[in-house]
Structure 1
Amino acid sequence: MKIIDDISNFIFIEDMPQKADIIFIPGGSYPEIAEEAARLWHEGYSNIILPSGKYSVKRGYFPGALSKAAEYNEKYNTEWEFLKAVLVKNGVDEKAVLREDEAQYTYENALLSRKITDNHNLEIKKAIISCKSFHARRCLMYYQIAYPQTEFIICPSGVNGITKANWFNSEEGIDKVMGEVSRCGSQFKDIFMSAFRDGTIKTF
């Protein structure tokens, strides 16, 4: 059905990798997104990686790896600590990994990452985002707000077997994707309205 295609094309974004100033990882408990970032780092697409995240504001703690738990079975206090451990285990030099371990939701991942790159005097003209496939649209929306002059390349990873081609064939896939559709509207509305009122809408 066309409506499924429309939703799929809106939520799932995927670009071919390009050389970039940085690779962002917008939080999470799935190692696949850091494994993908490590692969991109090894292939020379960027020499800096910035994982972001404390833990979910709803959960209030970091639950551990939600996949590949046998491989990543240490105690991790934050998403950043977990994602860094995945990166290092996959051969990334610790010196290449910046730190942001306070964010508790996606918009904070973007805003606090901007503070970190500003503090390091980094000019981010082009950036890769390594995220869950069904999280791609929301990540792009928020990072574009934090970095309005930056070109973004989305390099997603599939988790839980949920893909653009099959999300509508399972209850979990429908729940995840339609939840993203809802959040893209409900969360972005307030941000968009605030930007309109304070005159920053022109930066989008």
Structure 2
Amino acid sequence: MYQNFLRQFTDFIFVEDTPAPSDIIFIPGNGYPQMAEQAAALWKEGAAPLLLPSGRYSTLTGRFSGVQEKQEQYPGPYETEWAFLQDVLLKNGVPEKAILREERATYTYENALRSRALTDALGLSIRRAILCCHAWHARRCLLYYQLLFPEAEILVCPSDTGINRHNWHETSEGIDLVLGEIERCGGQFHKILRDI
């Protein structure tokens, strides 16, 4: 009955692309292994030669909030999101030499900012990149990374960590996450848009 209404939110937030050969795979920091597991699978398929997990910990907690799923596979302890994501990549067959290190970012925009600073410092030319993130976080991640890599095509390859395009509107948690993302897509861009 409300499908057309819900589709407006769904299509905006839940971005998903088909992976294609790329220069790098970006993984914004978090405590879920699924994004790094997917990135490792894409790396094994030859999607990109390098992976860049990014993240220290959330500014809200001031520390790494811990592994949120699959703790038995990834027991830690981990000091940062980057250390956790690196371990997931290593345990899923990615060699250390393919993993770049960005361990200072504390929020999504900073993940993109610091990833850009690192790729520039290394002299990397990014023409196409894959972005592995939560399904419900896809639009905001894409906006930030596209802003910082305007010359690149950014392909979003999200992971389903429980809240997805088909079920987000069925639970309070899903509604809060998705509508919160919509609010942040507006609220967090005022200063950015004035500065560009």
What interval of TM-score do these two structures reach, taking the shorter chain for normalisation?
Answer: over 0.9
Pairwise CA distance, 1:192: 1.0
Q: Structure 1 residue 113 and structure 2 residue 115: aligned?
A: yes
Structure 2 Cα separation of the partners of residues 188 and 11 of structure 1: 16
Of 50, 57, 64 in structure 2, the residue corresponding to residue 48 of structure 1 is 50
TM-score, normalised via structure 1 length:
0.94
Q: Which runs of 5+ in 2 are unaligned?
A: none
Structure 1 Cα separation of the partners of residues 76 and 31 of structure 2: 13
| 1:1-204 map, 5 Å | 1=2, 2-159=4-161, 161-195=162-196
Partner-residue secondary structure (3-state), 1:71: coil
Partner-residue secondary structure (3-state), 1:131: coil
Pairwise CA distance, 1:190: 1.8
Partner-residue secondary structure (3-state), 2:9: helix
Q: Which runs of 5+ in 1 are unaligned?
A: 196-204
Percent of matched pairs sharing the same residue: 52
Aligned length, in residue pairs: 194
Structure 2 Cα separation of the partners of residues 27 and 7 of structure 1: 24
Structure 2 Cα separation of the partners of residues 49 and 192 of structure 1: 28
Q: How big is the alpha-carbon RMSD for the aligned residues of Structure 1 and Structure 2?
A: 0.7
One-letter code of the match for 2:127?
A: K
- Asked if the contact 1:64/1:73 (under 8 Å) is kept, the reply is no
Structure 2 Cα separation of the partners of residues 80 and 59 of structure 1: 16
